[in-house]
Structure 1
Amino acid sequence: MSTFTIPGLSTDDGARVAAVLQERLSAYNDLHLTLKHIHWNVVGPNFIGVHEMIDPQVDLVRGYADDVAERIAALGNSPKGTAGAIEADRSWDDYSVGRDDARAHLAALDLVYTGVITDSRAAIDSVGKIDPITEDMLIGQTAQLEKFQWFVRAHLENSGGNLVHEGSSTELDAADKARKA
């Protein structure tokens, strides 16, 4: 660890913010890999629409990872972008749906987005009083993730306004409910 951080922050505060950002970095790296997995494994009648919808999400999430890693470095810490770091920081299970139809993947992805967004909002809360610049970066990223989740949910909402996988607690359960809807 460096002996410096962002002007106006103590090195201890810089280290605390960097630790929160490291969790976001691992989450974003995992998310962009999950999105590519879905991109490669989606099949069925809505294949092309979902296939093409995913790539811009991948690109933006990869950019978020880069922004977060660079902020960690600016804070005087070393960003960890390895597979081992993802595993060590992971509080979630690996994505569990393989080759499947669009709705099954989107239902599972909705749960992934819920987890990432919930954790991002917690990160915003934890850094807000310490570092409003990092807070602002995370707010902007989270807003876009919420927009992507809306895109995903638009494919899953029925005419009654309910999600076809409502009440699912696992990706496999969500995918199964979506297939049956």
Structure 2
Amino acid sequence: MTSFTAPGLSAESATTVSACLQERLSALNDLHLTLKHIHWNVVGANFIGVHEMIDPQVDLVRGYADTLAERIATLGSAPRGTAKAIEDDRSWGDYSIGRDTAQAHLGALDLVYDGFITSHRAAIEQIGKLDPITEDILIGQTAELEKFQWFVRAHLESYTGELANAGQSSETAAAAAARSAG
């Protein structure tokens, strides 16, 4: 339990919200690292466009992590931003694509965003009634992350609206489908 929190929020609610935010903080830290990994390992015909598209995403995700860490501290808890925290909080697998084409990475990244956005929406649902301030923070972050996913999907979409990685449930399968379609 926290010993202090934001006015109008019970210590019990603050502890619940902080725990939820800690998992999201670790997920954001992991997403930052995944995006930088893609940035460093993308090759092929669309290299420069994807390479440069990823950097603003990295910067925004790092800022989101900072916002959540500061919110955790505001609520009276201590944010954990270490590699061990990511490992402890992780309920997802490590990004599985190494050096590969832009299309392959974008196919896999689309699935990463699917999982991340779904988890952020679940956090919104979990803490919405407890702390509308934190809910608002997560809603704003989710909106921007959905826009980034749209940027990714624009590279994967055919003129008929089909995604090159449609129906794939693993990063490697999504990468292979996008690579072969591109």
Which position in structure 2 is the counterpart of 1:162?
Answer: 162
Which position in structure 2 is the counterpart of 1:67?
Answer: 67
4+ residue runs of structure 1 moved beyond 3 angstroms? none
C-alpha separation between the residues in 1 aligned to 2:164 and 2:86? 30
Which position in structure 2 is the counterpart of 1:24?
Answer: 24
Consecutive unaligned residues of structure 2, counting only runs of 5 or more, are none
Could you say what secondary structure the match of 1:76 adopts? coil
What is the CA deviation profile of residues 99-120 of structure 1, one whole-angstrom value per residue up to 9, with x for unaligned ones? Answer: 0000000000000000000000
Which position in structure 1 is the counterpart of 2:33?
Answer: 33
TM-score scaled by length of structure 1: 0.99
Percent sequence identity is 72
CA contact (8 A) 2:2 2:14 kept: no
Instruction: Please report the RMSD computed on the Cα atoms of aligned residues, expressed in angstroms.
Output: 0.7
What is the CA deviation profile of residues 9-61 of structure 1, one whole-angstrom value per residue up to 9, with x for unaligned ones? Answer: 11010000001100110010000000000000000010000000000000000
Question: How far does residue 2 in structure 1 lie from its aligned partner after superposition?
Answer: 4.0
Could you say what secondary structure the match of 2:156 adopts? coil
Consecutive unaligned residues of structure 1, counting only runs of 5 or more, are none
Which position in structure 2 is the counterpart of 1:176?
Answer: 176
C-alpha separation between the residues in 2 aligned to 1:179 and 1:17? 40
C-alpha separation between the residues in 2 aligned to 1:82 and 1:154? 34
Could you say what secondary structure the match of 1:85 adopts? helix
C-alpha separation between the residues in 2 aligned to 1:63 and 1:104? 27
C-alpha separation between the residues in 1 aligned to 2:10 and 2:179? 52
C-alpha separation between the residues in 1 aligned to 2:82 and 2:167? 34
